[in-house]
Structure 1
């Protein structure tokens, strides 16, 4: 019985993780733009966005700090670094969610839904 409960828990955690890891794409005129596509490719498929915004996305960064004491080990320090990215917003039509495409280094890093257009 305990093994069944543990197996079920592992399955549910794996299922939740798999759902959150799935990448979304932006559909434009029957073609899809997704993670890894270039800005040029997105403009060719979808046209110009209704807005563009530069954003600073905090990401953890690990650094090693040397100890001032001879022979003492270095210490690991985690800080938040600003990673510059660009968000493009696409209007998908009345009743649909806005499409938000985030670019990092000129390629799509993620696609997500924004607010519903009324």
Structure 2
């Protein structure tokens, strides 16, 4: 094995290690209730079945940015496309936030739900809502 091969092998090993470390830091949160768990991506129905009704529930319209529209092609002018305006569009998506008080020794959990799916789980101080 030459010096160049060793350097390549070392760089690949470092890159793989960095990817594995980064992947571990991005793991989704989960919440354990009644000997079962819920996690991001689970349904609202599963959350209700597993953890029951929340102590407090709130619903609001969250602003989300929509992707730009594709180019428009007009009939009668083949091959001529007019780009759509690249102005960011804002839409409203109904979002629920549920607070679960889990008792002494446990941090409260705030679950954010959109379109019937859990999109985030936060605990304690992290559970405070972000500005809408």
Q: Could you tell me the TM-score, scaled by structure 2's length?
A: 0.62
Q: Which runs of 5+ in 2 are unaligned?
A: 1-5, 73-79, 127-132
Query: Which 4+ residue blocks in structure 1 deviate beyond 6 angstroms?
Result: none
Match for 1:91 among 84, 101, 105?
101
Pick the structure with more strand per residue. Answer: 1
Q: Aligned partners of 1:2, 1:80: CA distance in 2, in Å? A: 49
CA RMSD across the alignment: 3.1
Residues 36 and 10 (structure 1 numbering): CA distance in 2 closer, same or farther, change over 3 Å?
A: closer
Displacement after TM superposition at 1:101 (Å): 1.3
Q: Aligned partners of 1:10, 1:55: CA distance in 2, in Å? A: 42
Q: Aligned partners of 2:40, 2:57: CA distance in 1, in Å? A: 18
Q: Aligned partners of 1:38, 1:66: CA distance in 2, in Å? A: 36
Q: Aligned partners of 1:63, 1:53: CA distance in 2, in Å? A: 30
Structure 1 or 2, whichever has the larger Rg, is 2
What pairs with 1:1-118 in structure 2 (closer than 5 Å)? Answer: 4=10, 8=14, 11-12=17-18, 15-20=21-26, 22-64=27-69, 73-75=82-84, 77=86, 78-115=88-125
Q: Could you tell me the TM-score, scaled by structure 1's length?
A: 0.68
Q: How many pairs are equivalent?
A: 113
Displacement after TM superposition at 1:91 (Å): 0.8
